[in-house]
Amino acid sequence: DAGVTQSPTHLIKTRGQQVTLRCSPKSGHDTVSWYQQALGQGPQFIFQYYEEEERQRGNFPDRFSGHQFPNYSSELNVNALLLGDSALYLCASSLSEGGRDYNEQFFGPGTRLTVL
């Protein structure tokens, strides 16, 4: 049973460009959350998707947007990249309606984004 997977592993972009990161949740999970982890910091909540809609959002600008597909996978899009967007982007999946994994989040290995 595959856990949470993310692609790509690493990405290098220049300022002003746009980037799309992808996440496949753990089998059976229906909720995907995205976090930004800057160097030396803890993960910061960006937003969460459930039933293909953004359910909650952290303190991030509108340049950060996302999408959830019918198979529960998700994308994170960042427009007009800034140097400060360089970070490890973590995807976490969970179950919103009860079950063994309820109340837990399972994290993927992350995508390392470098903005030059």
Partner 1 sequence: AQSVTQLDSQVPVFEEAPVELRCNYSSSVSVYLFWYVQYPNQGLQLLLKYLSGSTLVKGINGFEAEFNKSQTSFHLRKPSVHISDTAEYFCAVRGRYNFNKFYFGSGTKLNVKP
What's the distance, Cα to Cα, between the start and end of the chain in Å? 37
Strands 44-50 and 106-107: unpaired
**Is the Cα torsion angle 51, 25, 7, 48 positive or negative in sign?**
positive
Helix (H) or strand (E) holding 84: none
Question: What is the closest distance, in whole angstroms, from the C-beta atom of residue 115 to partner 1 in the complex?
Answer: 19
Query: CB neighbours of 107 closer than 8 A, spacing ≥ 6?
Result: 4, 90, 91, 92
Question: What is the closest distance, in whole angstroms, from the C-beta atom of residue 16 to partner 1 in the complex?
Answer: 28
Q: Which is nearer to partner 1, 35 or 85 (CB)?
A: 35
Question: What is the closest distance, in whole angstroms, from the C-beta atom of residue 80 to partner 1 in the complex?
Answer: 26
Residues that bind partner 1 (CB under 8 A): 4, 31, 33, 35, 40-45, 48, 50, 55-56, 58, 90, 92, 94, 96, 103-110
Question: What is the closest distance, in whole angstroms, from the C-beta atom of residue 100 to partner 1 in the complex?
Answer: 13
Q: Which is nearer to partner 1, 47 or 81 (CB)?
A: 47
* CB neighbourhood size of 14 (10 A): 10
Q: Which is nearer to partner 1, 15 or 55 (CB)?
A: 55
